[in-house]
């Protein structure tokens, strides 16, 4: 069985990915390997941050490892908040303040196009791989819904009338950036596991 470390301290993400990866992989958290450290996210891109986190753990443990990073890219803001999504309005990582800041910067802009992008960096048998999951959509000017987290109340995915925050977790997971990226990782790992046998 392929053993993999998921370089995150987020228990919700771990549960989510455990569900997607199923029983064929043995997934370990940072806690499981005795490394509850906060890995810095100082790179200029999602790819850079995800790879930095994976490499950090790989260099310390030499174990197979993956890490993820997600951002909301708003076209009229030149891709902001992007890699700064979590701390857009400050270190407190306040979801409401982040939304207010983004909406204020967008003003009455007609172009409301945006996308969530998740990047996963994997280091497997010492080799580096990147996977991407995208959810295209638009930003509305008033918050709607109470599910989810982050920018969900103002993001309406393409082909939908509801925001992510108006969907159940199961509905969001069918079309979300993160689910798409993790599904690509799963497909890759299944192929890889087959080749190893």
How would DSSP label each residue in 26-55?
EEE-TTTTT---------SSHHHHHHHHHH
- What is the CB neighbour count within 10 angstroms for residue 140? 14
In Å, how far from its chain's centre is CA 78?
20
Does 137 bind ligand IMP (CB under 6 A)? Our answer is no
Alpha-helical segments (H) within the chain? 11-21, 46-61, 95-106, 169-175, 177-196
**Binding segment (CB under 6 A) for ligand IMP, from list 26-34, 51-59, 145-153, 186-194:** 145-153
Distance CA 55, CA 160 (A): 37
Asked if 136 contacts 156 with a C-beta cutoff of 8 angstroms, the reply is: no
Does 153 bind ligand IMP (CB under 6 A)? Our answer is no
Of 5-44, binders to ligand IMP (CB under 6 A) are none
Does 77 bind ligand IMP (CB under 6 A)? Our answer is no
69 is catalytic: yes
Which residue has its beta carbon closest to ligand IMP?
Answer: 150
Residue 176's Cβ-side half-sphere holds a number of Cα atoms within 13 Å equal to 25
Binding string to ligand IMP for residues 168 to 187, with x set by CB under 6 A, is what?
--------x-x---------
Q: Which of 69, 102, 163, 189 binds ligand IMP (CB under 6 A)?
A: 69
Distance CA 7, CA 54 (A): 6
Does 86 bind ligand IMP (CB under 6 A)? Our answer is yes
The residue annotated as part of the active site, out of 23, 32, 68, 69, is: 69
Does 73 bind ligand IMP (CB under 6 A)? Our answer is no
Q: Which of 5, 67, 80, 150 binds ligand IMP (CB under 6 A)?
A: 150
Does 157 bind ligand IMP (CB under 6 A)? Our answer is no
Does 85 bind ligand IMP (CB under 6 A)? Our answer is yes
Distance CA 86, CA 157 (A): 20
Footprint on this chain of ligand IMP (rule: CB under 6 A) = 69-72, 85-86, 93, 98, 116, 148-152, 164, 176, 178
């Amino acid at each position: 069985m392929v053993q993999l470390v998921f370089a995150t301290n987020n228990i919700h993400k771990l549960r989510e990915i455990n569900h997607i990866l199923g029983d064929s992989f043995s997934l370990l958290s940072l806690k499981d390997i005795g490394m509850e450290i906060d890995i810095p996210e100082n790179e200029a891109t999602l790819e850079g941050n995800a790879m930095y986190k994976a490499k950090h753990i790989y260099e310390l443990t030499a174990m197979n490892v993956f890490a993820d990073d997600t951002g909301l890219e708003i076209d009229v803001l030149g891709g902001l908040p992007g890699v700064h999504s979590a701390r857009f309005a400050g270190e407190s990582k306040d979801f409401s303040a982040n939304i207010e800041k983004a909406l204020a910067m967008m003003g009455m802009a007609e172009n409301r196009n945006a996308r969530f992008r998740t990047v996963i960096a994997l280091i497997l048998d010492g080799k580096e791989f990147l996977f991407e999951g995208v959810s295209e959509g638009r930003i509305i000017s008033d918050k709607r819904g109470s599910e989810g987290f982050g920018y969900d109340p103002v993001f309406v995915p393409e082909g939908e009338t509801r925001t992510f925050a108006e969907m159940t977790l199961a509905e969001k997971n069918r079309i979300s950036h993160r689910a798409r990226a993790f599904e690509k990782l799963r497909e890759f790992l299944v192929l890889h596991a087959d080749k190893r046998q």
